Amino acid sequence: MTVRTPVYLDHHATTPVDPRVLDLLARVQRQVFGNPSSANHAFGWSAARLVDRAREQVAALVGGTAREIVFTSGATEADNLALLGVAEAHADRGRHLVATNLEHEAVAGPLRILAERGWGVTSVAADRDGLVAPEDVAAALRPDTVLVSVIAAQNEIGTIQPLARIGRICKEAQVLFHTDAAQAAGRIPIDVAAWGADLLSLSAHKLYGPKGVGALWVRRRDPRVVLKPLLHGGGQERDLRPGTLNVPGIAAFGEACRLAAEELPADAQRLRELRDGLLARLQGELKGVHLNGACEPRLPGNLNVSFAGIRGGRLLGALTTLAVSAGSACASAKSGPSAVLKALGVPDDLAAASLRIGLGRGTTAAEVDYAAARIIAAVTKLRAEEA
């Protein structure tokens, strides 16, 4: 079978908009231009109806209620709102936060700002498999801790944290629990009740929706989470995120969540088989192939592998027909091996010769076969040159 190149295998960086989502996006963009805050005419009402429906659809994907959804410009803003908003609102209770060394920059950035402002921040280290031990989170808690933030599924190595156990620890200690679920959403089931989460961040473009839209889910009961807004203006989103709503983006995000919920079991099963097949073939035909991060629990479409005996940077350069990455997309503009692989104790030479491969909804078996053949050929050639 022929494969169109370049082959997109970077679904942790972003995903293409699902054609069904795109249809809705275009229809709303064309036909529904009203401001959902215009409460006195039909243009506003039809926009508000679309937003209401999307709010239900996004909430349903995570097991929350519509009133708990705050639409934002993406997961970066949701993470910032969760961390800075909770810190600001609870500073009189304590000025200490707990996170992990696997957090995305959208969490690590606000944590750095808070540390500069005098907050204590404890970073819990994951083990060599990229998993955080709940006991370590418990041990990091202090009487003045107000928030724990743990990435649900890691964006480079795909490992899934023991969220329900961490959530229980937070609940017992009466500390709020935030999780960045941008990579988890649509790929594994999310249940805010089972996870014991109080705040949860989402991004539309990681689940086949458009870029520039996301949400923060904020628990309203047991406990009712209080936080301060980042922006100030009109009263939209219960004063937590003022500004005229991105109606087409939000409607599309809702539809993407609806489709994700519907297709998750079948998608996950199919991607897991393709991913496992790809790893088996790489390890079968090449020596010195190291899987970074635990095999399980791991996102079904994620593979992060290092190849011994190749000098840093050369591998990606040899794979021009594959859209894959080394580390996160945000970090790929910078140089040096991935901080996450370093944190796992992966030696620098192996970290520099790593590939993050993210399979997605549109990935075919033929594309995976093609990728396997290209990677095997490139690794074999580079090793021969370096021998």
Type and span of the H or E element at 150: strand 145-151
Stretch of 175-183, 218-226, 247-255, 261-269 contacting ligand PLP, by CB under 6 A: 175-183
Count residues near ligand PLP (CB under 6 A): 15
Task: Look at residues 209, 194, 173 and name the one whose alpha carbon lies nearest to residue 71.
Answer: 209
Q: How far is the CB of 31 from ligand PLP (least distance, A)?
A: 26
Return the residues of window 78-117 that contact ligand PLP according to CB under 6 A: 79, 104, 106
Q: How far is the CB of 228 from ligand PLP (least distance, A)?
A: 20
Question: Which of 34, 74, 186, 360 forms a contact with ligand PLP (CB under 6 A)?
Answer: 74
203 or 363: CB nearest ligand PLP: 203
Q: How far is the CB of 333 from ligand PLP (least distance, A)?
A: 14
Distance between CA 363 and CA 273 in Å, rounded? 12
Given the structure tokens 């750095």, which residue do they identify?
112
Tokens in use for 281?
């073939």
Q: Which amino acid is at 191?
A: D
Return the residues of window 206-235 that contact ligand PLP according to CB under 6 A: 206, 214
Show the site string, 138-167: x = touches ligand PLP by CB under 6 A, - = not.
Answer: -------------x---x------------
Q: How far is the CB of 239 from ligand PLP (least distance, A)?
A: 22
Measured on CA atoms in the order 207, 13, 184, 140, is the torsion positive or negative?
negative
Q: How far is CA 58 from CA 2, 73, 190, 201, 211, in A?
A: 37, 14, 11, 11, 15
In this structure, what are the phi and psi dihedrals at residue 148, rounded to the nearest 5 degrees? -115, 135
Q: How far is the CB of 203 from ligand PLP (least distance, A)?
A: 3
Question: Which of 57, 80, 183, 363 forms a contact with ligand PLP (CB under 6 A)?
Answer: 183
Question: Is residue 203 involved in binding ligand PLP (CB under 6 A)?
Answer: yes
202 or 352: CB nearest ligand PLP: 202
Contacts of 179 (CB under 8 A, 6+ apart): 149, 150, 151, 152, 161, 163, 195, 197, 199, 200, 201
Q: Is 257 a catalytic residue?
A: no
Q: DSSP state, 313? A: T
Question: Which of 182, 218, 261, 289 forms a contact with ligand PLP (CB under 6 A)?
Answer: 182
Q: How far is CA 320 from CA 8, 158, 239, 325, in A?
A: 11, 24, 47, 11
Annotated catalytic residues are: 330
Site residues (vs ligand PLP, CB under 6 A): 74-76, 79, 104, 106, 151, 155, 180, 182-183, 203, 205-206, 214
